[in-house]
Amino acid sequence: MVGQSNVLYPLRNPHRVYCAGPLFNEAERREMIRIAYVLRRAGFEAFVPHADGMEFADVLPYLIAQGHESAAAGQLLHEAVFALDVYQVVVECGSLVFNVNGRVPDEGGVAEATIAWMLGKPVVLYKDDCRSAVAGRDNPLIVGQTGFQTEKDIERLPAALRRRIDELSPDESRAVACPAHLLATVATGERLWRGLSALGRGRPAASVAEAVLEVFGPQQAAAAAP
């Protein structure tokens, strides 16, 4: 939980894993679900954004049908996705697995992995794709975050993550000073996560949209304005 001070505890839950990676087609989404399944089977908790958070493409039509202008609804959902994912990466999840399959790594996943690495969280890269853009090697600014280690076997991800946790030995009690802009985003993301969690799994798009409006709707924006 985010408190009133400017201190966060980002290493509390090393066995709760943020699953970062591409989610733009059915094959990519299936692969991300499989990664989460393998981790859960091994005793980890896993958060997959489209399955455990919210799906932009499912919620947008509902907002438009309720009379929200398309561009405004899209902006609102982008703000919600950003806040929710930042909250999960910074506070809720103590480690991260990044699926870097693809011609280039997923842009959002790059940002999420970097946030996690800079906070001292264990990060593991998964890749069984032979393509690479830099002389047969992956981008050093990405693989450097894992000590230049990449796991090629999806079934070995839990073991790779356990090794990384053991190597880093994250201090779950370590407090990190949080700048005001990040604290505000994390606090907003936490509010949205509470609302979504109250809906349970398999929550309908309409209920997700209402939870988003409760946190990011026009009335909330007006109340937050100077």
**What is the predicted pLDDT for the residue at 55?**
86
**What is the predicted pLDDT for the residue at 5?**
77
Could you write out the three-class secondary structure of the chain?
CCCCCCEECCCCCCCEEEEECCCCCHHHHHHHHHHHHHHHHCCCEEECHHHHHCCHHHHHHHHHHCCCCHHHHHHHHHHHHHHHHHHHHHHHCCEEEEECCCCCCCHHHHHHHHHHHHCCCCEEEECCCCCCCECCECCHHHHHHHCCCCECCHHHHHHHHHHHHHHHCCCCCCCEECCHHHHHHHHHHHHHHHHHHHCCCCCCHHHHHHHHHHHHCHHHHHHHCC
Closest residue by Cα to residue 126 from 43, 46, 215:
46
**What is the predicted pLDDT for the residue at 220?**
54
Rounded Cα–Cα distance for residues 77 and 212 (Å) = 8
**What is the predicted pLDDT for the residue at 211?**
94
Average pLDDT, the chain: 92
Strand pairing report for 95-99 and 7-8: unpaired
Rounded to 5 degrees, what are φ and ψ at 125?
Answer: -100, 135
- Cβ-based neighbours of 133, under 8 Å, separated by 6 or more: 103, 104, 139
**What is the predicted pLDDT for the residue at 137?**
86
pLDDT in tens, the chain (226 residues): 555 578 999 999 999 999 999 998 999 999 999 999 999 999 999 999 989 998 888 899 999 998 999 999 999 999 999 999 999 999 999 999 999 998 889 999 999 999 999 999 999 999 999 888 777 788 999 999 999 999 999 999 999 999 999 999 999 999 999 899 999 999 999 999 999 999 988 889 999 999 999 999 875 543 444 4
Domain residue extents for the chain: 7-224
**What is the predicted pLDDT for the residue at 224?**
47
For the domain covering 7-224, report its CATH number: 3.40.50.450
